[in-house]
Amino acid sequence: MKKLYIALSLFLASFAYSQVPQAFSYQTIAFNSAGAPIANGNVNLRISILDNSATGTVLYTETHTKTTNSKGLVNLNIGSGTPTTGNFGGINWGTNTKFVKVEMDPTGGNNYTNVGVNQLMSVPYAQVSKTVVTGAGQGIILVSPNGTPYELNVNDNGQLSLPTSNSSSTAASNLYLYGSFNNWSPASALEFGKNVQPFGSGYNGFIYLKAGDQIKFLADKTGNVIYGGNDGLTGNIVKNGNAITIPSNGYYRIVIDQSNSYYQIFSINVKFGYDYTMKLDNCTPSYTNFNMQNVYPSSMSYYVEIGSNDFGDNLADGSLDYNGPKIVLPGNNVLKTKINFNGSGSYSYVPWYTPPSNLYMKVYYTNGTSGNQSITMSSSAASIYNGTFTTAHPAVIYFTDSYSGNGTIQYGGQNNIITPAGQGFINIPEPGSYSVKLDFTTSSYTVQKQ
């Protein structure tokens, strides 16, 4: 029997009904035995809810007949299929852990093959609320959208008390970062990601900061509510507290708990696989770029590791997905990974070029003025070249291996990526003095007006 593969992902936040929900959303990608998505095909799925373990008692089973989209994606609602065992509404979600078993027949028949069992890491709240019964004298804990817990109690006369909380009731629903990196501008503050998988609950931000940078936190972009710290890189959040000073250059993860009372700031590594540290370049406050160079003709297949967590790509669409399939980097290419401040990420790859032994920058005026320039680029490190020029006119620049002519190779660039000159020169629209850097290890360039 051929082995079938399926990518599982459960989304428990959306429900099938507007009243007491009897279903929760499920999304999956169906693959055939060759590992390719089953595009626009009819598949039959059998879904079972298991109790307490991956081999536990079957509480409920249902079947679905679905048609995949062009990516092999299937959407359905668990609880709204055709029941074959048990009653979905009778499941006690408040006791024991629950597992979802998925079986599939890719031909649309009833010859099901087990393709995976996954633990439900969270349970739809309204499902629990139907079945959970607390002990005598115990209240029910309700959690607000900003993560603040409130306790609802009832006395012997059946009278409900108002919810109370041991946490600060002033916890913000969103948090933002600002500081010296953006000239203390609340309007351009960066919004933290909330409950970023797999980094846990609370707020997370990922940013490259320099030694001496200072930061604070905001409840919104008006700057009316400002939070600082009092204990360096780890400590308690204090309203109108001190700015937090960054001790050294590095890529940092900033974590704030859901109640907005505690923070941690620590450096974090980004790798391609276990052994290859990715090179950082072209950073902005809102995102950071990491690069991996493959100078060999054969491809490499690894995860992008952010800290100790593996990220691949579920849909082969250039997005970084936690625990997705490995990313394939073709030979003689550079993997360019972009990690946003809020924890989302994407990737692409571009050709890698062998750096010449000598490199020269050509400056050509676009208004027809004579006096074009040829400038020798200096090499500050292996495969990295730097140069400066001044122009009184709008111009374009490109690079060759010859001072006096066009040489045997020519490079241009687009969107900070080195390209063959035939694909485009680098435009310099304004007169002025400029510094230029080409890094062949990342296939990137920068042009900065001085």
The DSSP result for 196-247, as a single string, is -TTS-SSEEEEEEE-TT-EEEEESSTT-SSEEEBSSTTEEE-EET-BPEEP-
Contacts of residue 121, defined as CB under 8 A and 6 or more positions apart, other chains included, come to none
Tokens of 39: 């595009």
Assess whether pLDDT exceeds 80 at residue 144: no
pTM as predicted: 0.60
Domain with CATH 2.60.40.3620 in the chain: 176-267, 360-449
Question: Beta strand 250-256 with 262-267: parallel, antiparallel or unpaired?
Answer: antiparallel
| 139 confidence band (pLDDT: 50, 70, 90) | low
pLDDT at 128: 47
Contact 11/25 with Cβ under 8 angstroms? yes
pLDDT, mean of residues 367-393:
91
Contact 68/37 with Cβ under 8 angstroms? yes
Most confident of 161-170, 231-240, 430-439: 430-439
Contacts of residue 405, defined as CB under 8 A and 6 or more positions apart, other chains included, come to none
- Fold category of 176-267 in CATH: Immunoglobulin-like (2.60.40)
| 30 confidence band (pLDDT: 50, 70, 90) | confident
- CATH number for the domain running over 270-351: 2.60.40
Domain with CATH 2.60.40.380 in the chain: 5-127
| 258 confidence band (pLDDT: 50, 70, 90) | confident
CATH architecture label of 5-127 = Sandwich (2.60)
Assess whether pLDDT exceeds 60 at residue 288: yes
pLDDT at 107: 84
For residue 107, the SS3 value is coil
Within 10 angstroms of residue 102's Cβ, the number of other Cβ atoms is 21
pLDDT at 5: 45
Contacts of residue 126, defined as CB under 8 A and 6 or more positions apart, other chains included, come to 15, 20, 21
Assess whether pLDDT exceeds 70 at residue 10: no
Question: Beta strand 304-306 with 309-312: parallel, antiparallel or unpaired?
Answer: antiparallel
CATH architecture label of 360-449 = Sandwich (2.60)
Within 10 angstroms of residue 41's Cβ, the number of other Cβ atoms is 17
pLDDT, mean of residues 88-93:
81
